[in-house]
Structures are given as C-alpha cells and as structure tokens.
Amino acid sequence: SQKIEQNSEALNIQEGKTATLTCNYTNYSPAYLQWYRQDPGRGPVFLLLIRENEKEKRKERLKVTFDTTLKQSLFHITASQPADSATYLCAPGHSNYQLIWGAGTKLIIKP
C-alpha cells in the first residue's frame, strides 16, 4: 500500500538558518504533491503545490523540490523565523485527486 514518510522527530533550527524537511513516498507515483502548515489547535493551511513535471517551486522564503526518481520531496524555509514554528504536512496526490497524508514534521525555530 502507499506510504508517506516524514521526519518523525522534531526539527530544531536556529533562527536565520534554512530549515529542510523531507517527504518520502513509496508504492505509487503521484502526479503532484502539496505541502501544508498546521498550527496547534488549527486546521492545515495550504502552502505550495508542485507537479511531477516541475523540479522546483518557490514562494517567498519557501521552496519545494520534487524528485520522482528518488520518490522524494524536500521543503525548504530560508531565513527561518520563530513564527515559522509549526507542523508541516506533506500530501502527495493519489488517484481521483485524493491526497494521502504524512504524519508531519514538527519544526521549531529557536531565536
């Protein structure tokens, strides 16, 4: 069955550095992949979408890559700030445009 793996442990990053989060998927080939941010007590909020024919997508300080050979997506936040602290969820697209969700990586940016 399809499986999504994200860093299970929290990622601690010093403010100003680049945070890199990993999403690996197995047993299928998604046509696209979405990244969401989830704060405690809130619903996930969409950040970026990348399609299989795109190597990289950027939005302000965010960058996502999609390597269909490695079956991996990387999510980067440059010049990280304490306000970037949250859980980040990876969601590759499945058939019928449904998403399969990773458990998320908790990112902590220390001042």
Partner 1 sequence: DTAVSQTPKYLVTQMGNDKSIKCEQNLGHDTMYWYKQDSKKFLKIMFSYNNKELIINETVPNRFSPKSPDKAHLNLHINSLELGDSAVYFCASKPNLGADSPLHFGNGTRLTVT
| Chosen residue from 7, 34, 73, 85 binding partner 1 by CB under 8 A | 34
Minimum distance between the CB of residue 110 and partner 1, rounded to whole angstroms? 22
Amino acid at position 34, single letter: Q
Contacts of 3 (CB under 8 A, 6+ apart): 25, 26, 27
Nearer to partner 1, 11 or 49 (CB): 49
Give 76's strand partners.
20, 63
Phi, psi of 81 (to 5 degrees): -130, 155
Q: Is residue 89 at the binding interface for partner 1, with CB under 8 A as the rule? A: yes
Residues that bind partner 1 (CB under 8 A): 31-32, 34, 36, 41-46, 49, 51, 87, 89, 91, 93, 96-99, 101-104
